[in-house]
Structure 1
Amino acid sequence: MNMNLSLRSRVTASRGSRGTLLRVASLLAALLALGGAGTAAAAAPREAGPGADAVTTGKNVLYVTRLNHRDREEDDKVVAHLEQRGMVVKLVDEDAPVSAAKGEDLVIISSVVSARDMVGTPFRDVPVPLLTWESDLFDSLRFTGQKKGEDFGEVVKEHYVNVVNAPSPLAGGVPAGKRWVYPRDDEIGWGKPGPGATIIATIAGEPTHAVVFAYEKGATMDYDFVAPARRVALFLGNRSFEKLSANGNALFDAAVNWAIREPGDERCK
């Protein structure tokens, strides 16, 4: 009888051990599953914000600035806006090689760069759409002629622009006429475009001073320079982006949309 009790005790213990092992295995499996889910969540790309759409989502942008400049924080706000619209943005310093544009969908040159250091920039020739609001680079990029104050320049105190081509997708739905883009006076860059330009807005009262203008791929820019890809010029200053009105934001987003689309896209017409 003692032998039977001993045997039953060993069997019960064995079954208890197997039960414990099964419970431990189940717990480990659950923990691994949770860990895997956490890893997958961490590896997943950040979701685009409500401003994302089929035009901008997943597009790669090379953003050229001065990484160590005090106004770089304004560029961070622009980058955050672009990312909210679903774009993947890579910040590079103004001395980055032009080869950095390879494989990108859009190159943006901020006004935070030093135009003096980028004179004759080879970004002029990249076969990638390019958007800039550095008016002192309009000449080097062949957006305009070379004489500052005559072919390009800045108005230090202004907050109105005159929309002259409202039907264009580059106007972003902003109605024709005098529209304020800042709540109070700030810097607005301008240029006198080449013959192939599409002019969207000008300085109020200065019809030859364009503040939003663009070139289609293959259009003639300054003199006989032919646009290697779409080119867009905007009016912003170093710290103007965060001050944009609803109309100013609409013009900015429309410029990005138009630049990043393929020429001939029916949505651009």
Structure 2
Amino acid sequence: MLFVFTASSAFGTEVLFVVGGKAIKAGDQTIKKHLENRGFDVVVKNDKLVKTEDARGKSLVLLSESARSKEVNTKFRDVTVPVICSEPYLFHDLGMTGETKKFDFGRKSRQKEMAIVNPAHPLAASLSDNVQVSTKSFFMGWGVPGKNAIPVAALKKDPEKSTIFAYEAGTEMPGNVAPARRVGLFLFRGTAKSFTPDAWSLFNAVVDWSIEEPPDSVLKAELKTEEAPVLPPPGR
């Protein structure tokens, strides 16, 4: 079933942020604060309680790695709102990769850097080569996307495993046709607390590309925290 929401909802300023646990974790709180500093209104929902209909009127759905795949499952598979997924065990539920864990998707431990494989794309935030995204080693999520995906970044020593990849709306994915833009993102729980400026640039680029046209309130938002630099989208 395709859940069709109006065009106006796709260009609003609200983000649905789906997280795990009874209380929002420190890493998720950092992401929430960063988005708010950019001008977004962030609505946080627990993975078990969130419903498909909660995406209505939102500009973006952001699925945290802390969200449990068994709880979220296919709730946002067919929504016509852009989705950024940081939980690799949800990639298959969204139709973004195949279904075999540790082959089609997974996590790699003790990572600080990733390789930019598509530096010309706006999702690469004008970065190239190997990029350090964290000051501390962490688990990095990855997926093996379909042939129609846009590969952006990959594990430093395994270019077949994408750490940032995307699909345009209407693109055939391994398990679905993308109802709106879809992005797989490496972000592991807690990692945002040790993000480098380059990591924040990539995160901003992913958000801005996903919603296609950031609202003026986002583009004009002033920087409020040192750890979360706000950069304008490429070309603006």
Q: TM-score, normalised by structure 1?
A: 0.72
1:198-222 Cα distance to aligned partner (Å, 9 max, x none): 0000101211100000000011111
Q: How much does 1:73 deviate?
A: 2.7
SS in 2 for 1:248: helix
Q: How much does 1:167 deviate?
A: 1.0
Q: How much does 1:196 deviate?
A: 1.5
In structure 1, the partner of 2:68 is 114
Instruction: Verify: 1:218 aligned to 2:182, yes or no.
Output: no
In structure 1, the partner of 2:54 is 100
**Distance in structure 1 (CA, Å) of the matches to 2:27 and 2:157:** 29
Residue ranges of structure 1 left out of the alignment (5+ in a row): 1-56
Question: RCO greater where, 1 or 2, for CA within 8 Å and sep 6 or more?
Answer: 2
Equivalent of 2:19 in 51, 65, 71: 65
**Distance in structure 2 (CA, Å) of the matches to 1:268 and 1:161:** 20
Letter of the 1:242 partner, please give it. Answer: K
In structure 2, the partner of 1:177 is 129
SS in 1 for 2:72: coil
Which runs of 4 or more aligned residues in structure 1 lie more than 4 Å from their structure 2 counterparts after TM superposition? none
Letter of the 2:52 partner, please give it. Answer: V
In structure 2, the partner of 1:151 is 104
**Distance in structure 1 (CA, Å) of the matches to 2:60 and 2:145:** 21
Instruction: Verify: 1:255 aligned to 2:206, yes or no.
Output: yes
Higher helix share: 1
Residue ranges of structure 2 left out of the alignment (5+ in a row): 1-10, 214-232
Instruction: Verify: 1:202 aligned to 2:154, yes or no.
Output: yes
Q: How much does 1:141 deviate?
A: 1.0
In structure 2, the partner of 1:130 is 83
Q: How much does 1:67 deviate?
A: 4.6
Maintained 8 Å contact 2:12/2:58: no
Maintained 8 Å contact 2:125/2:234: no
Q: How much does 1:268 deviate?
A: 7.4
In structure 2, the partner of 1:233 is 184
**Distance in structure 1 (CA, Å) of the matches to 2:12 and 2:178:** 25
**Pairwise CA RMSD of aligned residues?**
1.8
Q: How much does 1:91 deviate?
A: 0.8
Letter of the 2:17 partner, please give it. Answer: Y
SS in 1 for 2:98: coil
**Distance in structure 1 (CA, Å) of the matches to 2:15 and 2:72:** 19
Letter of the 2:81 partner, please give it. Answer: V
Superposition pairs of residues 22-61 of structure 1, within 5 angstroms: 59-61=13-15
Maintained 8 Å contact 1:66/1:93: yes
In structure 1, the partner of 2:227 is none
Q: TM-score, normalised by structure 2?
A: 0.82
Q: How much does 1:244 deviate?
A: 1.1
Q: How much does 1:102 deviate?
A: 0.7
Structure showing greater radius of gyration is 1
Maintained 8 Å contact 1:77/1:242: yes
**Using a 3 Å threshold, how does the CA distance of structure 1 residues 116 and 58 change in structure 2: closer, same or farther?**
closer
**Distance in structure 2 (CA, Å) of the matches to 1:205 and 1:66:** 30
**Distance in structure 1 (CA, Å) of the matches to 2:154 and 2:59:** 27
